[in-house]
Amino acid sequence: MKYLIFLLFTVQILAQSFEEQALQYLQKEFPEYQKIEMQLQNNFSSDEKIIIDYSRNINLGKGIVFIPVIATKGKKTSASVVSVRVKFYKKLLVANKDIDKKETFTQGNFEQRVMDVTRLNGNPVKIEMDVTDYYAKSFIKKGEILFEEKIEKVPLISSGDKVFAEVRNGNVVVTTEAFARQQGSIGDLIELVSSNNKIFKARILDANKVVVE
């Protein structure tokens, strides 16, 4: 009976030891997450030695990670994988109020929360992004994660705005008035019409200036 208790205790210690190694391995492989929770899906026998095989790549599924390992049992050694059920947590922007469609964001519209992102559908906005440059493409409910798919950049130039279009030829720069036919932000290529009704495209430099390419 004492031998059996000792054997069960030894197996538990070995399992805990590998689980700790596996968690450290996941934290190193996925440093972008603030927290990782994991649960081993494999059962090891008391005479089986499992070590992580760092020479092979880890594979990630939806909520499951397959860790490459080398399994040794008696004199037999083989390459294998250990499946681990995981939850990944990341700091995200979450709306602290209802935000209407077309409403321009303020910094106070959102708060940072550490959320489970394991099974998210969509691309969460990075917390360091300046949200004041954007508005809501559709209604955003209080408590909802802010996704890239739900935002639109506030246009620097709107359709109908008068701008100054630069035409550059070496050191020579010619400037003419034009009117935007499309909206856009810095770096966007938009369509314009000149005072003599010539349509052309130019890239936005600022709120008043574009450069013809």
Ordered mean pLDDT values, 10 residues apiece, the chain (213 residues):
37 60 92 93 78 92 90 89 93 97 94 94 92 94 96 91 92 92 92 93 93 91
**Total number of domains in the chain:** 3
DSSP state letter for 55: T
Domain of residue 112, residue span = 89-153
Q: In this predicted structure, what is the pLDDT of residue 16?
A: 53
Boundary of a domain, candidates 115, 134, 153 = 153
Residue 15, H or E segment: helix 2-29
Domain end, chosen from 86, 109, 142, is at: 86
Final residue of a domain: which of 29, 63, 86? 86
Same domain, 7 and 72: yes
Whether the CB-CB separation of 107 and 95 falls below 8 Å is answered with no
Of 207, 205, 110, the C-alpha closest to 156 is 207
pLDDT at 1: 43
135-186 pLDDT per residue, tens: 999 999 999 999 999 999 889 899 999 999 999 888 888 999 999 999 998 8
Give the model's pLDDT for residue 10: 37
CATH of the domain at 181: 2.30.30.760
| pLDDT in the model for residue 163 | 95
